């Protein structure tokens, strides 16, 4: 049976010493996030993850969800009780608006909690995860009336939320959707259509479910420009907040999937269901993107959470399993063999995961801070820059973290040899669960296209220019310390690769957009490596400062330096291969006739 240890120490290190949250105490909500409070919150969250969520992860996978003939869905044993504890702990509202009952704390904290939940139990964490996205969309786009009616219950964890986009014939290309919304005289709409792949679409965790549904109002513009967003509750809500009649939405079936068995993936049939417009008519995609951007960062963090738990278990196994002898002579002389962690190829696997996890955790929390800054900073220039950086990093975190999450879960499973393939060890579940993160909320190919086709050229390339300027100032700042030279040199080479690839795309993609498409995934991974390198520079700097200041835990900081050296020697230089792929252009990719494949 796998275990999970909440990485609270690494999180507080990143928040206090790398991202340095205390520098932003002037922002609303940040004044409460003192190091003591942060520590207390993450320890409490870690306890929930370790003691409540993790123990029902493997059993939840084995049991799965069950749909009954009446369309109701039962979640696995223990999920309802766990959700109650999650809601009672106030976790749903950690960063939500105080006026609707939230705690208004920085997203840096709720992002850290997101990792803990996903590391412990991804299928469980999707139920609150989707609710967070729905809360974000309602908060930013819905009328005050809808907010007052729905947000308090959702923020309290009494009700959950969903996102309804996909239909059988359209996923990425939502302009083709057929679901329709007919306006009624009372200002509501009647929604009719079929939505598929609706995570957490039906369950027994809460008494109501608030669906956010994309549909077309008849007579509106064609395609994606005629799509509107609606709020459709499972049960109607009376004026006094009590629940009324069942609405016209029902779960037609649940999907048989590769993984995340404990999350119900539903076909939802809307048959004249009553809904209310969120935002403006035909501007549904704008509202949906608020939700999707929040969800995409959340999915990236899912990849990180799975990579972390897979790493922890692989480390435990590598320290326990005796097999063979160290190449340089026995280290466990009295035993029949050495633990496999002595073998360099096993360490290579573990170091790959460790160096990713620690850098990615910093990047996730750094990006969450940009998300706070873009809304809360009093300085307009800072808000804009944070919004630009957030936009640039969102597809990178979604795409790169989930590709890594899957690869790393696979690598951790590999450390187990044959036992990794056997269900009872639990490693293969991490792989099956991680696989969905590369697909949902926009496949990683779509993330890459969002990056090179939208985020990169937008505003004349302002975001990436701002990022290069930031990297420059980080290196200048770090460069004053001679001990940073060993890290700065490979970082400069990686930045040069990113600059070269960016320049190539800007010069060539205008004349042939297939150049952008052909290099998109490689470019996304290139930017991801540079962004991780950026974090490792900050981590190393923080480690030197702690060591210079006579920390009581020098091992912790020295291990940061050791792990950084692995990252800069073995992982970051892959930027060269990514750049070469970008600069190979469209021809090799597009030359074959479609019918010749």
Q: Looking at the annotation, which residues are catalytic?
A: 441
Give yes or no for residue 493 binding a copy of itself (CB under 8 A): no
Minimal distance, residue 475 CB to a copy of itself, in Å = 21
Give the pair of three-digit tokens for residue 13. 């290190």
Give yes or no for residue 225 binding a copy of itself (CB under 8 A): no
Residue closer to a copy of itself (CB basis): 4 or 276: 4
Minimal distance, residue 415 CB to a copy of itself, in Å = 9
The SS3 of residue 321 is coil
Report the Cα 40 to chain-centroid distance in Å.
23
Nearest Cα to Cα of residue 432 among 310, 263, 308, 259: 259
* DSSP state, residue 96: S
Give yes or no for residue 553 binding a copy of itself (CB under 8 A): no
Minimal distance, residue 442 CB to a copy of itself, in Å = 9
Give yes or no for residue 222 binding a copy of itself (CB under 8 A): no
Residue closer to a copy of itself (CB basis): 158 or 316: 316
Minimal distance, residue 485 CB to a copy of itself, in Å = 16
Give yes or no for residue 485 binding a copy of itself (CB under 8 A): no
Burial of 65 (0-12, 13-18, 19+ CB in 10 A): buried
Give yes or no for residue 347 binding a copy of itself (CB under 8 A): yes
- CA torsion through residues 508, 510, 511, 514, sign: positive
Stretch that binds a copy of itself, among 79-87, 121-129, 255-263, 538-546 (CB under 8 A): 255-263
Give yes or no for residue 547 binding a copy of itself (CB under 8 A): no
Minimal distance, residue 414 CB to a copy of itself, in Å = 6
Residue closer to a copy of itself (CB basis): 350 or 373: 350
Q: Which residues of 282-316 are buried (b: 16+ CB within 10 A; e: fewer)?
A: bbbbebbebbbbbbbbbbbbbbbbbbbbbbbbbbe
Stretch that binds a copy of itself, among 18-26, 99-107, 249-257, 473-481 (CB under 8 A): 249-257
Give yes or no for residue 377 binding a copy of itself (CB under 8 A): no
Residue closer to a copy of itself (CB basis): 118 or 407: 407
Distance CA 225, CA 285 (A): 8
Minimal distance, residue 325 CB to a copy of itself, in Å = 8
What track of x and - describes contact with a copy of itself for positions 71 through 110 (by CB under 8 A)? ----------------------------------------
The SS3 of residue 253 is strand
Stretch that binds a copy of itself, among 103-111, 142-150, 363-371, 414-422 (CB under 8 A): 414-422
Distance CA 212, CA 229 (A): 7
Stretch that binds a copy of itself, among 16-24, 292-300, 428-436, 541-549 (CB under 8 A): 428-436
Residue closer to a copy of itself (CB basis): 281 or 512: 512
What track of x and - describes contact with a copy of itself for positions 498 through 537 (by CB under 8 A)? --------------xxx-xxx-xx----------------
SS3 sequence, 467-527? HHHHHHHHHHHHHCCHHHHHHHHHHHHHHHHHHHHHHHHHHHCCCCHHHHHHHHHHHHHHH
Residue closer to a copy of itself (CB basis): 61 or 388: 61
Give yes or no for residue 588 binding a copy of itself (CB under 8 A): yes
Which residues on neighbouring strands pair with residue 73, listed in sequence order? 67
Q: Looking only at residues 171 through 200 of this chain, which bind a copy of itself when binding is defined by CB under 8 A?
A: 171-173, 176, 196-197
* Residue count, binding to a copy of itself (CB under 8 A): 96
Residue labelled with tokens 């412990």: 120
Minimal distance, residue 448 CB to a copy of itself, in Å = 6
Q: How many residues does the chain have?
A: 597
Q: How many CB atoms lie within 10 A of CB 228?
A: 24
Which residues on neighbouring strands pair with residue 358, listed in sequence order? none
Minimal distance, residue 268 CB to a copy of itself, in Å = 14
Contacts for 302 with CB less than 8 Å, ≥ 6 apart: 114, 118, 122, 125, 129, 401, 402, 405, 434, 437
Quick one: which of 54, 179, 367, 438 contacts a copy of itself (CB under 8 A)? 438
Residue closer to a copy of itself (CB basis): 296 or 385: 296
Stretch that binds a copy of itself, among 73-81, 115-123, 167-175, 282-290 (CB under 8 A): 167-175
Nearest Cα to Cα of residue 524 among 472, 455, 459, 475: 455
Give yes or no for residue 169 binding a copy of itself (CB under 8 A): yes
Q: Looking only at residues 389 through 408 of this chain, which bind a copy of itself when binding is defined by CB under 8 A?
A: 406
Question: Phi/psi zone of residue 65: left (φ > 0), alpha (ψ -120 to 50 degrees), beta?
Answer: beta
Q: Which residues of 108-138 are buried (b: 16+ CB within 10 A; e: fewer)?
A: bbbbbbbbbbbbbbbbbbbbbbbbbbbbbbb
Distance CA 83, CA 88 (A): 8
Quick one: which of 214, 215, 217, 350 contacts a copy of itself (CB under 8 A)? 350
Give yes or no for residue 248 binding a copy of itself (CB under 8 A): no
Q: Looking only at residues 256 through 275 of this chain, which bind a copy of itself when binding is defined by CB under 8 A?
A: 256-259
Residue 183 dihedral angles phi and psi, to the nearest 5°:
-65, 140
Nearest Cα to Cα of residue 306 among 447, 199, 437: 437
Q: Looking only at residues 197 through 216 of this chain, which bind a copy of itself when binding is defined by CB under 8 A?
A: 197
Distance CA 119, CA 309 (A): 5
Quick one: which of 327, 333, 381, 460 contacts a copy of itself (CB under 8 A)? 327
């Amino acid at each position: 049976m796998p275990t999970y240890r909440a990485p609270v120490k690494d999180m507080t290190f990143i928040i206090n010493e790398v991202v340095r949250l205390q520098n932003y105490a002037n922002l609303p909500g940040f004044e409460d996030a003192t190091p003591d409070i942060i520590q207390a919150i993450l320890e409490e969250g870690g306890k929930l993850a370790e003691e409540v969520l993790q123990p029902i992860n493997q059993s939840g996978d084995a049991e799965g969800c069950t749909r009954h003939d009446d369309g109701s869905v039962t979640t696995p044993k223990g999920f309802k009780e766990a959700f109650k504890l999650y809601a009672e702990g106030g976790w749903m509202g950690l960063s939500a608006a105080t006026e609707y009952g939230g705690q208004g704390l920085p997203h840096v904290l709720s992002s850290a909690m997101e990792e803990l939940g996903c590391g412990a139990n991804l299928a469980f964490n999707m139920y609150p995860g989707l609710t967070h996205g729905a809360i974000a969309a309602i908060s930013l786009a819905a009328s005050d009336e809808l907010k007052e009616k729905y947000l308090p219950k959702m923020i309290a964890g009494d009700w959950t939320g969903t996102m309804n986009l996909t239909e059988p014939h359209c996923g990425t290309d939502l302009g083709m959707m057929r679901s329709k919304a007919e306006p009624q005289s009372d200002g509501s709409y009647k929604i009719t259509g079929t939505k598929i792949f609706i995570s957490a679409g039906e369950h027994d965790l809460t008494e109501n479910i608030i669906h956010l549904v994309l549909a077309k109002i008849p007579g509106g513009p064609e395609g994606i420009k005629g799509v509107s967003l609606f709020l459709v509750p499972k049960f109607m809500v009376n004026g006094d907040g009590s629940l009324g009649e069942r609405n016209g939405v029902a779960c037609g079936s649940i999907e048989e999937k590769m993984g995340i068995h404990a999350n119900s993936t539903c076909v939802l049939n809307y048959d004249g269901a009553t809904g209310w417009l969120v935002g403006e008519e035909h501007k549904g995609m704008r509202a949906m993107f608020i939700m999707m951007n929040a969800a995409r960062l959340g999915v990236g963090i899912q990849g990180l959470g799975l990579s972390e738990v897979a790493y922890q278990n692989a480390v435990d196994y590598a320290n326990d399993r005796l097999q063979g002898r160290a190449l340089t002579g026995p280290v466990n002389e009295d035993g029949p063999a050495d633990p496999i962690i002595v073998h360099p190829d096993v360490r290579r696997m573990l170091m790959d995961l460790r160096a990713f996890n620690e850098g990615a955790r910093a990047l996730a929390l750094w990006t969450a801070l940009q998300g706070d800054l873009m809304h809360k900073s009093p300085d307009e220039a800072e808000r804009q820059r944070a919004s630009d950086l957030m936009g640039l990093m969102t597809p990178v975190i979604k795409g790169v973290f989930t590709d890594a999450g899957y690869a790393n879960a696979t690598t951790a499973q590999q450390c187990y040899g044959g036992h990794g393939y056997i269900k009872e060890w639990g490693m293969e579940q991490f792989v099956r669960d991680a696989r969905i993160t590369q697909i949902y909320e926009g496949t990683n190919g779509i993330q890459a296209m969002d990056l090179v086709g939208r985020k990169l050229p937008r505003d004349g390339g302002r975001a990436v220019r701002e990022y290069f300027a930031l990297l420059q100032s980080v290196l200048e700042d770090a460069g004053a310390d001679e001990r940073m030279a060993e890290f700065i040199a490979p970082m400069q080479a990686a930045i040069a690769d990113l600059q070269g690839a960016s320049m190539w795309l800007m010069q060539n993609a205008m004349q042939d957009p297939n150049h952008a498409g052909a290099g998109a995934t490689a470019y996304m991974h290139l930017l991801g490596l540079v962004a991780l390198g950026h974090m490792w520079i900050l981590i190393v700097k923080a480690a030197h400062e702690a060591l210079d200041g006579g920390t009581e835990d020098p091992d912790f900081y020295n291990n940061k330096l050791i792990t950084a050296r692995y990252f800069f020697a073995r992982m970051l230089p892959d930027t060269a291969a990514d750049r070469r792929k970008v600069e190979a252009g469209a021809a090799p990719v597009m030359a074959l006739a479609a019918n010749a494949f």
